[in-house]
């Protein structure tokens, strides 16, 4: 074979190999493509299966009822939510027509054209319909309907998602009814209903706002309520609503003056409560306002009437006190005037014969001494008288007569002097000639009072002697009304004697009273606590006075004595004499079973006398 031929053969062979390689390469690519397509198909198939499973889970677990219908509106799928809504199980619902399954009989004629129209829809529809459950209960359902088509666009059925909205519809109906009722109540209420934001901007005012205050509602909606409040009441108003915001609780009882359109003010009573947002924060305030002008006017009239009654009562009480005071003074003045006149008269009548007797006693004493001396001379010079004289001497007991006659005359003189002292004390006590201010010896007045009461201080059959202890200080003459001051001493000392007698006669013998029973005592002391005043203390060691009794001690007609033994005027008048007539003080210091002490303090000089 020639070289040329060989080269041609080689060239042909090379071309054949190249064609073979090309063929093999094309075949290999086709196999790979087929394999890739197979892999994609498997993946798509698995994804579709997974998607179908997920869709099935979504359908089964969907809270909404999911229903598949064929083109004849027969059930092909029925999820558990649909079972719950309508009461039918999936087995009971499958292949049953919608009309006979869940549409009330009286509504089926109306629903048939609706179903036919649904098959003509290109997109989904939303509707609310009345349905019936397996138990025959009528419910309201909201339907979401979507047509289903195949890959060629041919309608294969309808997918429906259904929600039972019966409770919601009933709630909406009840709410609407409630809103109508509430609006009717608000619009017909005699009070004003209001609401405002936290900055005071009004957001609602009921129609009665116009009737009550004269403004149109539109004049204040969107504006602050503050111009409606009286300037003097803004603080109270702000504090009231601030409490609502701060506490988040309703408040009541706000009373203030509200401005009317004619410029006048009326009284209102307002209650308020907070409006909260979802977070529990106060965002608005709402409340009710009522006109209480008539009530406030009635209250003001009542308060004025009560104030007037209180004033009249006070005036009557003052008048009564003045009448009691005047009555007390008149009674005591008349009593003391009569007593003073009686004492002065008795003293005067006694004084004349006493002076006569006292004056003659001096002469009788002289005469008796002369006669006794004469008898003595006869006895010396005529020791042996005649028998008749001796018999007479024995009959008259001359020796005893001579010895006793001077004693008898001396005793008469002492008695006459005692009577004169008593008369002087009576005249000092009565002081009829000393009704005006004059400078007086206080100690003399006390002593004259004790002289008059001496018969009560002496021991008696069942009562021991009452000891009087006097501790007189160095007092100047005091400017006073002597007769009235002696009256005070008499009242206090007489009461002290009464107390001591009662302590002994009426009280049980106890350890604390044992000393009092055997040694009743009245202590009188005087002193000058300063250069302007004198102080007199009169104390006893009797039963004392209770705290309750001390509070009423100086009240007119108050007495601790038995009925018929005291008028209750003595200490009351004494208090008036010391405090009103002399500008001093009278107080009692006492405690039960510790005795009582009356402390009198009066100025040395009376201001009235210097005016």
Which whole-number Å values give the CA distances from 253 to 16, 70, 139, in the listed order? 116, 69, 48
Token output for 270: 């307002």
Average pLDDT in the chain? 79
Top mean pLDDT of 153-157, 205-209, 246-250 is at 246-250
pLDDT in tens, 276-304: 888 888 989 988 888 888 888 888 888 88
Q: Give the mean pLDDT of 127-156.
A: 88
Helix (H) or strand (E) holding 409: helix 398-430
Is a pLDDT exceeding 60 seen at residue 434? no
Confidence of residue 603 (pLDDT cuts 50, 70, 90): very high
Pick from 571, 574, 579: nearest CA to 603: 579
Is a pLDDT exceeding 60 seen at residue 341? no
Helices 293-381 and 398-430 cross at an angle (nearest 10°) of 160
Confidence of residue 577 (pLDDT cuts 50, 70, 90): confident
Which segment of 210-214, 306-310, 475-479, 604-608 scores lowest on mean pLDDT?
604-608
Task: Determine the pLDDT at residue 343.
Answer: 60
Q: Rounded to an integer, what distance in angstroms lies between the CA atom of residue 65 and that of residue 80?
A: 7
pTM attached to this predicted model: 0.39
Task: Determine the pLDDT at residue 106.
Answer: 86
SS (H, E, C) 305-316: HHHHHHHHHHHH
SS (H, E, C) 447-474: HHHHHHCHHHHCCCCCCCCCEEEEECCC
More confident residue, 196 or 417: 196
SS (H, E, C) 129-185: EEEECCCCCEEEEEEEEEEEECCCCCEEEEEEEEEECHHHHHHHHHHHHHHHHHHHH
pLDDT in tens, 22-33: 766 655 666 666
Task: Determine the pLDDT at residue 141.
Answer: 92
Tell me the β-bridge partners of 468: 522
- Phi, psi (rounded to 5 degrees) for 91: -65, -35
Confidence of residue 88 (pLDDT cuts 50, 70, 90): very high
CA angle 498, 503, 509 (to 5 degrees): 165
Task: Determine the pLDDT at residue 208.
Answer: 84
Q: Rounded to an integer, what distance in angstroms lies between the CA atom of residue 34 and that of residue 51?
A: 25
Q: Give the mean pLDDT of 471-476.
A: 93
Q: Are the C-beta atoms of residues 595 and 601 closer than 8 Å to each other? A: no
Which residue is it, tokens 């009882």? 253
Which segment of 81-85, 256-260, 494-498, 589-593 scores lowest on mean pLDDT?
589-593
Task: Determine the pLDDT at residue 585.
Answer: 93
569: number of Cβ within 10 Å: 19
pLDDT in tens, 300-326: 888 888 888 888 888 888 877 777 666
Confidence of residue 189 (pLDDT cuts 50, 70, 90): low
Task: Determine the pLDDT at residue 433.
Answer: 46
Task: Determine the pLDDT at residue 425.
Answer: 59
Euclidean distance between the first and final Cα of the chain, in Å? 186
Which segment of 42-46, 352-356, 581-585 scores lowest on mean pLDDT?
42-46
Is a pLDDT exceeding 70 seen at residue 8? no
Q: Rounded to an integer, what distance in angstroms lies between the CA atom of residue 252 and that of residue 268?
A: 12
Confidence of residue 610 (pLDDT cuts 50, 70, 90): very low
Task: Determine the pLDDT at residue 49.
Answer: 57
Is a pLDDT exceeding 60 seen at residue 417? yes
Which segment of 195-199, 309-313, 372-376, 526-530 scores lowest on mean pLDDT?
372-376
Task: Determine the pLDDT at residue 133.
Answer: 93
More confident residue, 352 or 167: 167
């Amino acid at each position: 074979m020639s070289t040329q031929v060989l080269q041609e053969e080689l060239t042909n062979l090379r071309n054949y190999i190249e064609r073979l390689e090309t063929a093999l390469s094309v075949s290999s690519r086709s196999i790979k493509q087929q394999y890739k397509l197979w892999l994609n198909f498997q993946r798509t198939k698995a994804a579709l299966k997974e998607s179908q499973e997920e869709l099935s889970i979504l359908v089964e677990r969907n809270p909404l009822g999911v229903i598949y219908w064929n083109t004849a509106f027969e059930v092909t799928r029925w999820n558990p939510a649909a079972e719950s809504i309508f009461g039918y199980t999936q087995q009971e619902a499958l292949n049953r027509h919608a009309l006979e399954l869940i549409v009330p009989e009286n509504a089926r004629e109306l629903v048939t054209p609706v179903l036919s129209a649904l098959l003509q829809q290109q997109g989904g529809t939303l509707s609310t319909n009345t349905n019936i459950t397996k138990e025959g209960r009528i419910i309201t359902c909201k339907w979401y309907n979507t047509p289903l088509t195949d890959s060629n666009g041919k309608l294969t059925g309808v997918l429906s998602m259904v929600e039972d909205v019966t409770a919601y519809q009933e709630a909406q109906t009840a709410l609407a009814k409630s809103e109508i009722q509430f609006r009717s109540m608000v619009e017909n209420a005699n009070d004003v209903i209001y609401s405002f934001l936290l900055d005071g901007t009004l957001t609602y005012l009921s129609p009665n706002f116009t009737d009550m205050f004269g403004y149109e509602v539109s004049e204040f909606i969107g504006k602050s309520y503050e111009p409606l409040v009286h300037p003097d009441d803004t603080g109270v108003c702000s504090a009231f609503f601030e409490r609502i915001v701060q506490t988040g609780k309703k408040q009541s009882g706000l009373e203030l003056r509200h401005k009317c359109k004619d410029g006048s003010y009326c009284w209102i009573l307002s209650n308020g409560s907070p409006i909260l947002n979802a977070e529990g924060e106060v965002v608005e305030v709402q409340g009710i306002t009522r006109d209480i002008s008539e009530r406030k006017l009635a209250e003001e009239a009542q308060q004025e009437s009560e104030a007037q009654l209180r004033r009249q009562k006070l005036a009557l009480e003052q008048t009564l006190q003045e009448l009691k005071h005047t009555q007390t003074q008149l009674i005591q003045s008349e009593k003391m005037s009569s007593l003073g006149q009686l004492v002065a008269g008795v003293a005067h009548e006694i004084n004349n014969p006493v002076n006569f007797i006292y004056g003659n006693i001096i002469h009788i004493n002289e005469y008796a001494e002369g006669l006794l001396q004469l008898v003595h001379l006869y006895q010396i010079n005529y020791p042996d008288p005649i028998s008749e004289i001796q018999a007479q001497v024995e009959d008259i007991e001359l020796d005893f007569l001579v010895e006793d006659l001077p004693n008898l005359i001396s005793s008469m003189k002492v008695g006459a002097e005692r009577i004169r002292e008593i008369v002087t004390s009576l005249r000092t006590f009565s002081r009829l000639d000393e009704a005006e201010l004059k400078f007086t010896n206080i100690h003399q007045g006390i002593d004259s009072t004790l002289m008059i009461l001496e018969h009560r201080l002496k021991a008696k059959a069942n009562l021991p002697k009452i000891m009087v202890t006097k501790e007189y200080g160095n007092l100047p003459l005091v400017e006073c009304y002597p007769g009235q001051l002696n009256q005070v001493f008499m009242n206090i000392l007489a009461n002290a004697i009464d107390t001591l007698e009662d302590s002994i006669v009426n009280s049980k013998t106890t350890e604390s009273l044992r000393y009092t029973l055997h040694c009743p005592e009245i202590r009188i002391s005087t002193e000058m606590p300063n250069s302007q005043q004198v102080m007199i203390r009169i104390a006893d060691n009797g039963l004392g006075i209770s705290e309750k009794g001390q509070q009423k001690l100086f009240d007119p007609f108050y007495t601790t004595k038995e009925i018929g033994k005291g008028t209750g005027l003595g200490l009351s008048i004494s208090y008036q004499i010391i405090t009103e007539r002399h500008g001093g003080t009278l107080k009692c210091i006492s405690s039960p079973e510790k005795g009582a002490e009356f402390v009198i303090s009066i100025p040395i000089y009376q201001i009235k006398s210097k005016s």
